[in-house]
Chains A and B, each alone.
Chain A
Amino acid sequence: MIERFKELKRKAEIEWENFNNSKQIRMLIGAATCGIASGALKVCDSFKKEIKTKKIQCEIYEVGCIGMCYAEPIVEICLPDKRRIMYGNVNEKILPQIIDDVILKNNPRIDLALCTTGEMKIPGIKQITELPMLNKQQRIVLRNAGIIDPVNINHYIARDGYSALLKAFTITPADVIKEVKDSMLRGRGGAGFHTGVKWEIARNTESDIKYIICNADEGDPGAFMDRAVLESDPHSVLEGMIIAAYAVGTRNGYIYVRAEYPLAVKRLKIAIEQAYNLGFLGRDIMGSGFDFEIEIKEGAGAFVCGEETALIASIEGRRGMPSSRPPFPAVCGLHKKPTVINNVETFANVPWIIQKGADTFAQLGTTKSKGTKVFALAGKVKHTGLIEVPMGITLKEVIYDIGGGIPNNKRLKAVQTGGPSGGCIPAELMDLKVDYEELTKAGSIMGSGGMIVLDEDTCIVDIARYFLEFTNNESCGKCIPCRIGSVHLLQYLTAITQGNASLSYIDKLEELSETIRLCSLCGLGQTLPNPVLSTIKYFRNEYEAHIKEKHCQALVCKDLIEYFIDIDKCTGCNLCFKICPVNAITGELKQVHSIDSKKCIRCGQCLDVCPTKVSAVKKGVCKN
């Protein structure tokens, strides 16, 4: 068994060595969905054209996501002299410059470079580890993201991949579970149940068949942790699943992944095929006598299918509707058999824990929350992206050090964590340590790791309304409090944003929220009032301003604001007149324009189109 693996590893290491120390010029492009969305494939195509016309020998690799979304598309140039330089925000304009200067003229273009990777330093360019966004991070789950080629299993093996599995095979399943229990790894899907305990329950439940399910049905708005892991390092998830299967004693595994993640599905399929080919999956894995099969199930896009009982129903071919727990899936799950359901990130942690030991993992984090957590940092922050930080880091560090603070000199207002099930944490609480207990205490939740930074231009009532709208649409309709309660919450919130509310609405919101929280069937319903309750808790004055003064401080709520044209500034360029979809703007060319507030639908297009130099169109509090 060990010899067979050593042989594989030796081959993989040679390939990895060649990849890193090649004499060839190489171009690595971040081609996860985030990169592709910012135009990585276009950049890649024009790069191919350029090198063809300029007759440069160059290898092109598509790698995963390094996490610096704000700088996508990211291109890394590896020169034959082992210098590796990363360029951010590459587009078709600066690409020829990079090719000409960096590759042909050997000028590293310090002005364009983001950082260097690898060992060779270049004066004037920071090393990747020195970047503020990365130096506070602790990358366990994302250990390979953006570094290896995700469709090449050898890269993964060479970076200690699958050695944890081999290590696990040398000890008993009970020891594997003990190791995971000792590490105090908790479910990264949001609820934070101890993974080792879950495995133990499933192991101790007697049954002929058991199942392992990887929950990759990531549906929170603004969250993309699981997608990034699957696209950048699918093997770490597979390895985690195989170890879990060995520990629990099952032969069947499913990965339930959203069909909206086509790239993740594609890369997973490639990874699974490679793992079968090399003998990490299938019968008699690595000669250990242990069998394990993985099947991919693509979800149809219902948010609630991330809830484990709904997910099971969906795999069974039924409508994705949650059912009551207990019995918990670990006792009676898929096809009424014991089933372990863990999140992508949880599984990706497992190989590292087995490899490095529970103690190393447990050293990170706070007393009750160990290890690291991946967050999708989004919203009004300079450096948006995917980050992995040790538990216990403060929100301030995350937002200001890693995130680089708020753009355009705006003031931080709040941080929304946990997606639609989470809440808003106000700027005053930025010293809060990020772990399961602290976030819950503050009225939010850890969730699967969405973190949206809100600045002063965000209306807090509108944010609550936005999340409610989402959960309202995604409720499965099974239980009354969630299905009908969310409609009422949404109606109350909408009335507040429209200025048609009375102060009693706040009490009504709170009362209704309590019923929904306590009486709903599943996690979706139980947590859907969180955005409302947490915003009322911290921003009650803003709610009251909407109701009493009909004043939206952030100038977001359409019914409480109006657009007008500054007579002194308007140059009569006619741009706003042309773009207005409802002909609310009047005015001749070269003459001052005006907006008819009654006709105006507050689409804001005039504001966008008004030249920045002029900035005559403004929005303000509704005077009527």
Chain B
Amino acid sequence: MDKIILTIDGKIVEANPDETVIEAAKRAGIIIPYLCNHEELEPFGGCRICIVEIEGMKGFQTSCNTFVKNGMSIKTNTPEIISYRKNIIKLLLSNHTSPCIVCLHRELCEKYRPKPTKTGKTIRCNTCSNTDICELKKLVKEYNIDDIGLPVIYNNIPLERRDPFMDRDYNLCILCGRCVRVCQNLHKKPFIAFINRGRAARIGTAFYQDHTETGCLFCGACVDICTTGALSDRYAKWYGKEDKIKETICDLCSINCDFYLRIKDNKVIGAMAKSFKQEHKICIGARFILPQLFESPKRITSNYIKLQDGIRKVPWTDAVKHAAAKLLNYKGNQFATIIYYNALIEEIDILKNFTKNVMNSENCHVVEKQDDKIKLNQETKAVITTGDYIDKDSLKNLEVIIALDVFPSFMSESADVLFALTLPQETGEALVPPPDSNTVSRIICDIAKEMGAQLDSYIVRSVQFAQNFNSTIWRQKPSYRNLAGGTATLEDRRQEMPLSSPLEDIKDLPRYYRGHYLADILGALRTIMKIERQEDITKKTEFKIVEKQEIVPNFHTITIQAPDIAKKCKPGQFVIAMVNDKSERIPYTIADWNVEHGTVTLIVQEVGRSSREMVMLSAGDTLAHFVGPLGNPVSIKRYGTVVCGGGCFGVGAILPICRELKKAGNRVISIIEASTHYLLYREDKIAEYSDKLLIATKDGSYGIKGGVGEAITLLAEQGETIDQVFIVGCAFMMMLVSESTKNLGIPTMTALNSIMMDGTGMCGACRVSVGDQTKFVCVDGTFLDGHKINWLELMQRLNAYNLEEIKSLPQDHSICH
């Protein structure tokens, strides 16, 4: 077809007739910004960011769905267009959880960011899992927007966590419709669509069903294509952006879909399809299950041998030697091998060779179905197996079991030698397999060598192949086994079978991986497989929750029946709570108490596993342990004019301090800080005990723009003489305030929240450097001199267990809300 000539920003551009303006411009090096558009989807025209002016046409046109025409003259960045684009972005920000975008301290906060929130609702950019790759944020930076200029609306839509793999927070959704379009493209009938009208319009399932009920196949395309952090992969979200991606295949079923693994610091953090096209469609297996299997904490990571005095962890060479020694006693049909369902043809070949040539046996079993258990002959006494495939009755007759496995099972427990297995996908340069593990081919070859046998060169090649599986050879399309252990090549297979995932129903999902029942390894799958979860949490009846309420997103007040603690409470003290016997010990500042009713009130922010367990409780539930009051109370005396500043969870904690200081005859000025107006709480109660109440929001949506530091500076400028400052909040916020009070020369006490275990000064985990001294927050604090604290060290220590904290997050939806 003839080329089309058009002018874009004065540049003459040649384009194909079926191109849109945005595509033509992109090829010419003119980038038009957009949000709803995606190169693999049909245009939508909803976000209106890509507006341009076209000569001869009325108003603005969206360049994503306007097709090129001969002689078109287009302007993409006149001041008018840019100003309207900015207005649209501002409109978007006003209905998005983005106070961080206009916060004064955003750069510092991003740098130090103490303890990112790893759970709960996303209430601002710095607690958003998508913050590194957010397209909206990029646009805001590009257009230099530092003021929203409109009231901020938060819709407070409940977070959807009803399936085990995806989190859906529609408060972040900008309705770009990408997820709906990609679902439409990939599946015959889409599982999500636009629902409702007007300001209630959003993406959802039919009749608000759970995704497990709609027939959703969990291909994850909607999550991967999401413009913002609205849709996220629960397992992967907090790891952030990957360092590299690696091409691999899925071996859960015999289709062997190819896809990319996302890798960060040599750890698999997730998977993604190669593209959003039909031919690269993957199913729940590759998208969610496989990456989680690789990194499963249940995985076998070392080699073990069974001795008379028990099971012992041994190095690789010892395990091989032990196996060879055991096998020497068995010949012929006393020996058998079992190779797993879906194995590579090379792996089968090497095992067959070993069985036949080294052991002179005919018994090489190939498992034909994913859940098959092999019944061995009576005479079989020794066996090498690559998974949990042996029938329980046959196990009794066996004298020697050599297991090459990834997950422990009943069989591997009774194995004489247990090798930690490397999966074929993990070989190659990109991934680091668990230490002390290796591929089937390598293990078998080494055992053979140890037994003094020679394996032919083909097998040696195979070993190399298996070890380079993902690099060059894979791309040349090697042969794969088919179920009969035959010779069909990949090309043959691809002709017989569709290229992409055949999974049309979640019921067809493979239930077994190498003979292991998947739901046992990956608890999250129970929801999809509709298996009831057994409650194993034992509850004591001692500390009953009287009242529980979510006051603002992520912040909960919990009132607990604890008369003995309530009697002794003083302002500034804390308690340590454990939800059940297996929970972490978590310190919480006491937000209020009532001696008469015998209750203690806490304000709990949902930030990680333990706090999530805590807020999942409701009135009537009980806590296993509740210790307190701990720490030194604030010394209540007559200071003169006192400023009490609170941010986030600290707002709750300053109330009793204000009250007692007021009683002692001080003039109390309270300052409450929050990111944005919808996170403000308890203002009225605090106002009751203060002579003056100032409210500061980081985005300026209510009160002073900025934080407590800004508010104190403002007070000082107004001529207020402040004698003492008390601050409760996150470490970053307290650091900022301490800096500003240091400049003003006002003594400042800050309530530290370092990592703590026993809370009684024994473990030393909570130590901080105050001046040239080392102090323990639990017994020397919690209030310490803010001007002397080494804040950077404290924040570094707070971030020490970030990775472990992410790993510990529960996947199973039954302990999410």
A520 interface residue per 8 A CB criterion: yes
Residues on B with C-beta less than 8 A from A483 are 175, 198-199, 201
Q: Cβ of A480 and Cβ of B92 under 8 Å apart?
A: yes
Looking at the complex, which one of B48, B151, B193 makes contact with A481 (CB distance below 8 Å)?
A: B48
14 residue pairs bridging A and B, Cβ less than 8 Å apart? A326-B66, A474-B197, A477-B194, A477-B201, A478-B45, A479-B45, A479-B48, A481-B88, A483-B175, A484-B153, A487-B153, A488-B91, A488-B151, A521-B45
Q: Identify which of A7-15, A111-119, A317-325, A388-396 touches chain B.
A: A317-325
Q: Cβ of A480 and Cβ of B45 under 8 Å apart?
A: no
Residues on A with C-beta less than 8 A from B479 are none
B51 interface residue per 8 A CB criterion: yes
A473 interface residue per 8 A CB criterion: yes
**Interchain residue pairs A-B with the least CB separation, the first 8:** A477-B201, A473-B198, A515-B87, A324-B45, A484-B91, A478-B46, A484-B95, A519-B48
Residues on B with C-beta less than 8 A from A321 are 194
Cα of A81 to Cα of B198 in the assembled complex, Å: 58
Cα of A519 to Cα of B199 in the assembled complex, Å: 18
Cα of A476 to Cα of B201 in the assembled complex, Å: 7
B733 interface residue per 8 A CB criterion: no
Q: Identify which of B57-65, B247-255, B311-319 touches chain A.
A: B57-65
- Write the chain B residue with the least CB distance to A322: B45
Residues on B with C-beta less than 8 A from A326 are 66
A144 interface residue per 8 A CB criterion: no
Cα of A256 to Cα of B44 in the assembled complex, Å: 24
Cα of A129 to Cα of B805 in the assembled complex, Å: 85
Looking at the complex, which one of B91, B153, B198 makes contact with A515 (CB distance below 8 Å)?
A: B91
A475 interface residue per 8 A CB criterion: yes
Residues on A with C-beta less than 8 A from B194 are 319, 321, 476-478
Kindly provide the distance from the CB of B22 to the nearest chain A CB, expressed in whole angstroms. Answer: 13
B731 interface residue per 8 A CB criterion: no
Kindly provide the distance from the CB of B171 to the nearest chain A CB, expressed in whole angstroms. Answer: 13
Given A484-B94, A487-B153, A519-B60, verify A477-B196 contact (CB < 8 Å): yes
- Write the chain B residue with the least CB distance to A323: B45
Q: A480-B175, A484-B94, A515-B84 are in contact. List 17 more A-B contacts (CB 8 A).
A: A302-B197, A323-B65, A326-B66, A473-B198, A475-B197, A477-B201, A478-B177, A478-B194, A483-B198, A484-B95, A487-B95, A487-B199, A491-B153, A512-B87, A518-B59, A519-B87, A519-B88
Q: Pick the most buried of B47, B193, B199: most chain A CB atoms within 10 A of its CB.
A: B199
Cα of A515 to Cα of B48 in the assembled complex, Å: 11
Kindly provide the distance from the CB of A335 to the nearest chain B CB, expressed in whole angstroms. Answer: 16
Cα of A479 to Cα of B198 in the assembled complex, Å: 11
Cα of A344 to Cα of B151 in the assembled complex, Å: 42
Q: Cβ of B46 and Cβ of A521 under 8 Å apart?
A: yes
Cα of A436 to Cα of B115 in the assembled complex, Å: 62
Q: Pick the most buried of A319, A321, A515, A520: most chain B CB atoms within 10 A of its CB.
A: A515
Q: Cβ of A479 and Cβ of B60 under 8 Å apart?
A: no
Number of B residues with CB within 8 Å of any CB on chain A: 33
Looking at the complex, which one of B66, B88, B150 makes contact with A480 (CB distance below 8 Å)?
A: B88
Residues on B with C-beta less than 8 A from A486 are 198-199
- Write the chain A residue with the least CB distance to B174: A480
Chain A binding surface SS class? helix
B202 interface residue per 8 A CB criterion: yes
**What residues make up the interface of B, taking CB atoms closer than 8 Å to A?**
44-48, 51, 59-62, 65-66, 84, 87-88, 91-92, 94-95, 150-151, 153, 174-175, 177, 193-194, 196-199, 201-202
Q: Cβ of B174 and Cβ of A488 under 8 Å apart?
A: no
Q: Cβ of A472 and Cβ of B199 under 8 Å apart?
A: yes
User: In chain A between 265 and 306, which residues have their CB closer than 8 angstroms to a CB of chain B?
Assistant: 302, 304
User: In chain A between 507 and 551, which residues have their CB closer than 8 angstroms to a CB of chain B?
Assistant: 511-512, 515, 518-521
Residues on A with C-beta less than 8 A from B65 are 323-324
Kindly provide the distance from the CB of B150 to the nearest chain A CB, expressed in whole angstroms. Answer: 6
Looking at the complex, which one of B51, B94, B151 makes contact with A519 (CB distance below 8 Å)?
A: B51
Cα of A477 to Cα of B193 in the assembled complex, Å: 12
Kindly provide the distance from the CB of B143 to the nearest chain A CB, expressed in whole angstroms. Answer: 14
Residues on B with C-beta less than 8 A from A477 are 175, 194, 196-199, 201-202
Residues on B with C-beta less than 8 A from A479 are 45-48
Cα of A26 to Cα of B66 in the assembled complex, Å: 61
A485 interface residue per 8 A CB criterion: yes
Cα of A67 to Cα of B65 in the assembled complex, Å: 45
Q: Cβ of A324 and Cβ of B66 under 8 Å apart?
A: yes
Kindly provide the distance from the CB of B509 to the nearest chain A CB, expressed in whole angstroms. Answer: 30
Cα of A487 to Cα of B198 in the assembled complex, Å: 9
Cα of A389 to Cα of B201 in the assembled complex, Å: 40
Given A481-B48, A519-B88, A520-B48, verify A491-B151 contact (CB < 8 Å): yes
Cα of A35 to Cα of B151 in the assembled complex, Å: 46
- Write the chain B residue with the least CB distance to A473: B198
Residues on B with C-beta less than 8 A from A474 are 197-198
Kindly provide the distance from the CB of A479 to the nearest chain B CB, expressed in whole angstroms. Answer: 5
Residues on B with C-beta less than 8 A from A302 are 197
Residues on A with C-beta less than 8 A from B199 are 472-473, 475, 477, 483, 486-487
Residues on A with C-beta less than 8 A from B177 are 478
Residues on A with C-beta less than 8 A from B62 are 324, 521
Cα of A491 to Cα of B196 in the assembled complex, Å: 20
Kindly provide the distance from the CB of B718 to the nearest chain A CB, expressed in whole angstroms. Answer: 23
Residues on B with C-beta less than 8 A from A491 are 151, 153
Kindly provide the distance from the CB of B191 to the nearest chain A CB, expressed in whole angstroms. Answer: 15
- Write the chain B residue with the least CB distance to A485: B91
User: In chain A between 308 and 356, which residues have their CB closer than 8 angstroms to a CB of chain B?
Assistant: 319, 321, 323-324, 326
Q: Cβ of B47 and Cβ of A480 under 8 Å apart?
A: yes
Kindly provide the distance from the CB of B78 to the nearest chain A CB, expressed in whole angstroms. Answer: 13
Cα of A326 to Cα of B197 in the assembled complex, Å: 25
Given A324-B65, A484-B92, A484-B94, verify A472-B46 contact (CB < 8 Å): no
Cα of A427 to Cα of B153 in the assembled complex, Å: 37
Cα of A483 to Cα of B44 in the assembled complex, Å: 15
- Write the chain A residue with the least CB distance to B86: A515
Residues on A with C-beta less than 8 A from B61 are 324
Q: Mark A457-495, 1 if CB is under 8 A from B, else 0.
A: 000000000000000111111111101111110010000
Cα of A554 to Cα of B130 in the assembled complex, Å: 51
Residues on B with C-beta less than 8 A from A518 are 59-60, 84
- Write the chain B residue with the least CB distance to A318: B193
Cα of A313 to Cα of B62 in the assembled complex, Å: 20
Cα of A480 to Cα of B92 in the assembled complex, Å: 7
Residues on B with C-beta less than 8 A from A481 are 48, 88, 91
- Write the chain A residue with the least CB distance to B149: A508
Kindly provide the distance from the CB of A308 to the nearest chain B CB, expressed in whole angstroms. Answer: 15
Q: Pick the most buried of B59, B84, B88: most chain A CB atoms within 10 A of its CB.
A: B88
Cα of A10 to Cα of B45 in the assembled complex, Å: 56
Residues on B with C-beta less than 8 A from A480 are 46-48, 88, 91-92, 174-175
Cα of A475 to Cα of B196 in the assembled complex, Å: 10
Cα of A163 to Cα of B62 in the assembled complex, Å: 46
Residues on A with C-beta less than 8 A from B175 are 477-478, 480, 483
Residues on A with C-beta less than 8 A from B95 are 484, 487
Given A473-B198, A478-B175, verify A488-B94 contact (CB < 8 Å): yes
Q: Pick the most buried of A324, A481, A521: most chain B CB atoms within 10 A of its CB.
A: A324
Residues on A with C-beta less than 8 A from B94 are 484, 488
Kindly provide the distance from the CB of A557 to the nearest chain B CB, expressed in whole angstroms. Answer: 20
Residues on A with C-beta less than 8 A from B46 are 478-480, 521
Residues on A with C-beta less than 8 A from B44 are 478
Given A477-B201, A477-B202, verify A319-B193 contact (CB < 8 Å): yes
Cα of A521 to Cα of B87 in the assembled complex, Å: 15
Kindly provide the distance from the CB of B267 to the nearest chain A CB, expressed in whole angstroms. Answer: 38
Cα of A488 to Cα of B199 in the assembled complex, Å: 11
Kindly provide the distance from the CB of B668 to the nearest chain A CB, expressed in whole angstroms. Answer: 29
Residues on A with C-beta less than 8 A from B151 are 488, 491
Q: Cβ of A476 and Cβ of B92 under 8 Å apart?
A: no
Kindly provide the distance from the CB of A617 to the nearest chain B CB, expressed in whole angstroms. Answer: 35
Kindly provide the distance from the CB of B524 to the nearest chain A CB, expressed in whole angstroms. Answer: 32
Looking at the complex, which one of A304, A487, A519, A521 makes contact with B84 (CB distance below 8 Å)?
A: A519
